[in-house]
Amino acid sequence: MTAIHLHNVQFRWAAQMQNTLYIPELSVQRGDKVFIQGHSGSGKTTLLNLIAGIHCPQQGKVQVLDTDLTVLSAMQRDRFRAQHLGIIFQQFNLLPYLSLLENVQLPCQFSSQRKAKAGNIMQTSLHLLDELQIARSMLHKPVNTLSVGQQQRVAVARALIGQPEIIIADEPTSALDTENRQRFLDLLFSEIEQRASTLIFVSHDPSLATHFSTHIQLAELNAITLSV
């Protein structure tokens, strides 16, 4: 079963004449853990924006979980993203004016189906935070007193709540030190396994690739770079 399928996708910024991204073919199966390697500026964030439905390609088809995002309106894509995707950034994942728990529960506020899948939201969020080794005593601390490692793990909890089918992680470990990095990856994989989610993990660091079943070089994927 296909989780993500890109076909003949071409994307350029509004002001530009030339394409930034040209992907003839990309296919990801459900349950796959895909490592996409690319340095910054290679178009990896653009790719993630397309998969997440933030932007639409000028040409081609972006199919996520049997839905063609290119035929949806912007608001429909927003709702799709709320329901089926969990996204983790490199840093600054959390809203400073919400509590830890409120941050984790944020996706449920924007999608009723996701909220339904989460069941008892309080229990689910506490459970997730436990699994991600966030101590109960940290729960009422303001978000910006947490260490980067803790913040990233809370971000994982937020991405996972309500069991979205696809998790996208954009350089989630780049701000962590080696010890925290390993811990983060272990926990992330353990959660993904439990839920059989699909993982798209983007990074510039090739040493991380060993954990993943599929390894894609963005430079090879993006036909723009090939033609140069």
Partner 1 sequence: MILIKLAAKSAWNRKVSLSLAMVSIAISILLLLGVDTIRKQAKNSFINTISQTDLIVGARSGSVNLLLYSVFRIGNATNNMSYQSYQDIAAMPQVKWTIPISLGDSHRGFRVMGTNQDYFRYHHYGQQQPLLFQQGQAFDDVYDAVIGYEVARQLNYQLGQEIIIAHGLVSTAFSLHDDKPFKVVGIMAKTGTPVDRTIHISLRGIEAIHVDWQTGTRSAIAVSADQARTMDLQPQTITAFMLGLERRIDTFRLQRQINQYRAEPLLAILPGSTLAELWQTVGQFEKILMIISSLVLVSGLIGLLTTLLTTVNERRREMAILRTVGAHTYHIGLLFTLEALLVVAGGCGLGLILFYVTQILMQPWLATSYGLYLTISFLDVQQWLILLIAMILGVILSLLPAWLAYHYSLQDGLMVKI
Which residue blocks in the chain are alpha helix, DSSP H? 44-51, 74-84, 100-104, 106-110, 112-118, 121-131, 148-160, 178-195, 218-221, 223-227
Smallest gap from Cβ 202 to partner 1, in A, equals 10
Q: Per CB under 8 A, which region of 21-29, 102-110, 192-200, 218-226 contacts partner 1?
A: 102-110
Taken in order 134, 135, 136, 137, the sign of the CA dihedral is: negative
- Interface with partner 1 (CB under 8 A), residue from 19, 37, 42, 111: 111
- Report how far residue 221's alpha carbon sits from residue 214's, in angstroms, rounded to the nearest whole number: 13
161 DSSP 8-state letter: T
By CB under 8 A, tell whether 107 contacts partner 1: yes
What's at 27, amino acid-wise?
S
By CB under 8 A, tell whether 93 contacts partner 1: yes
Smallest gap from Cβ 24 to partner 1, in A, equals 23
Q: Per CB under 8 A, which region of 106-114, 145-153, 177-185, 218-226 contacts partner 1?
A: 106-114
Residues at the interface with partner 1 (CB under 8 A)? 45, 48-49, 52, 54-55, 74-75, 78-79, 81-83, 85, 87, 89, 92-98, 102, 106-107, 109-111, 158, 170
